[in-house]
Amino acid sequence: MDRLEAIRELAKHDHGILSPEEAQKLADPFGVKVRPTTFNVGEGRVVSGPLGPWQGVGAHVLAHQIARSLGLNEGEAYPDVRGIGSQLRVACQAVERYLESQEEEG
């Protein structure tokens, strides 16, 4: 999977929590190491999932990580927004624009 494919796939996970393995697969083309978080049904925004605590990576968190790895900072390269779906969308769009501009230059 190349970087454009990875960021486009990540963008599909609106409000999603990825397994650490799935998140790492999308992060690998960028050389990013994911940092899983413990989630539990009924805590925060988690309304369904395995019973008991489990590890995952918020799609919006991974999008920010990938953007920062490319030097794209929230509030500069893309807007600082509140909702996690919006955060995912603007970060992925910024990464996609960056990658497409690199292809045009290269």
Count of all residues that appear for the chain in the document: 106
Q: Measure the CA–CA gap between 1 and 84, rounded to whole angstroms.
A: 25
For residue range 8-29, list pLDDT tens digits in order: 999 999 999 999 999 999 999 9
Confidence label for 95 from pLDDT (cuts 50, 70 and 90): very high
The domain spans of the chain are: 3-105
CB 35 within 8 A of CB 27: no
Task: Calculate the alpha carbon distances from 70 to 45, 47, 93, 99 in Å.
Answer: 29, 33, 13, 9
Query: What's the count of helices (H) and strands (E) in the chain, helices before strands?
Result: 4, 3
For residue range 42-94, list pLDDT tens digits in order: 776 666 666 778 899 999 999 999 999 999 998 888 999 999 999 999 999 99
pTM comes to: 0.90
Q: Measure the CA–CA gap between 46 and 68, rounded to whole angstroms.
A: 26
